[in-house]
Amino acid sequence: MPDPATVARTLYLDLIERCLLNTIYEDDYTDWSQPGVARKFDPLKRQRGLDWPTVAHTMIGQLRLRNLRELAEQALAQGIPGDFIETGVWRGGACILLRAVLKAYGVTDRRVFAADSFEGLPRPNTEAYPADTGDAHHTFRELAIPLEQVQANFAKYGLLDNQVVFLKGWFKDTLPGAPIERLALLRLDGDMYESTTDGLSHLYDKVSLGGFVIVDDYGATPNCRRAVDDFRRQRRIAEPLVNIDTLGVYWRKLIRSPSNGPSD
Ligand SMILES: C[S@@+](CC[C@H](N)C(=O)[O-])C[C@H]1O[C@@H](n2cnc3c(N)ncnc32)[C@H](O)[C@@H]1O
């Protein structure tokens, strides 16, 4: 029989997940194919993170949200040092879950970093990142959620406090000097080649051995996948990619790779 504290923690986090996904009130969704056009709630899409919910606080779907929770819990259970960060937070849902995990385990010495422009995605910088040529993410206003709205979302769960740090601005500007020493978990959700590369190049060396690197869009956007593959090849990262739900993947950092790894 699990002890009552474990049962309560599990029930709390289960309910947080359902609220974040809004599988409770089942809101409509829109998506990239016809932004702005509302369609009826589709449980399969919400499970797989294939929609842009009109109300729910995350678009990553039930499978990737559960995976995030499990990896965060594993990092805590195994004492992997460091904070948690997501680069690309939208309405904040995945970060709210991370803060809830810390709360559920009574952890007060780790923080959740939420990095975002809070204005949507950048225009492609095709000179520096030719792979992003033609990328239309910056045109989707659905992806631009103001900081105040994200903070209000944290507050709705009673989870807005000084263990949450917002890094507002483009990743290329905020990540290099971010006040982060070590990370137990790095979650990349910036869709584009540039955004994914910025997260990896500025934060990977801060990930502790045993820490997790999660890539939301590996199977969804070819540019994200290319950025991850290029980075892993340049840094000779050999830890295997683990498939989450055919779209998201993660790997566990087990070996320190040379920081300015040989480019090939
Ligand atoms: C797909 S959404 C993230 C979804 C979110 N993780 C969730 O739980 O629903 C992508 C987010 O990344 C942000 N973003 C992408 N590239 C960025 C960049 N280079 N700098 C700052 N923010 C960026 C966008 O503003 C947007 O909020």
CA dist., res. 191 & res. 168, Å (int): 17
Whether residue 142 has its Cβ less than 6 Å from ligand 1: no
Q: pTM score, two decimals?
A: 0.96
Q: What per-residue confidence (pLDDT) applies to 240? A: 97
Cα 234 to ligand 1 centre (Å): 25
In tens, the pLDDT along 80-127 reads: 999 999 999 999 999 999 999 999 999 999 999 999 999 999 999 999
The pLDDT score that the predictor gives to residue 259 is 65
Using DSSP's 3-state secondary structure scheme, residue 225 falls into helix
Instruction: Decide: 189 in ligand 1 pocket, CB within 6 A.
Output: yes
> Domains of the chain: which residue ranges?
60-252
Distances (CA, A) of 201 to 33, 126, 209, 227: 31, 18, 16, 10
Please name the residue whose Cα sits nearest to atom 11 of ligand 1.
88
- Please state the φ and ψ torsions of residue 252, each to the nearest 5 degrees: -105, 125
Q: Which residue from 20, 21, 89 has its CB within 8 A of the most atoms of ligand 1, so it is best to mutate?
A: 89
DSSP, res 139: G
Overall fold of domain 60-252:
Rossmann fold (3.40.50)
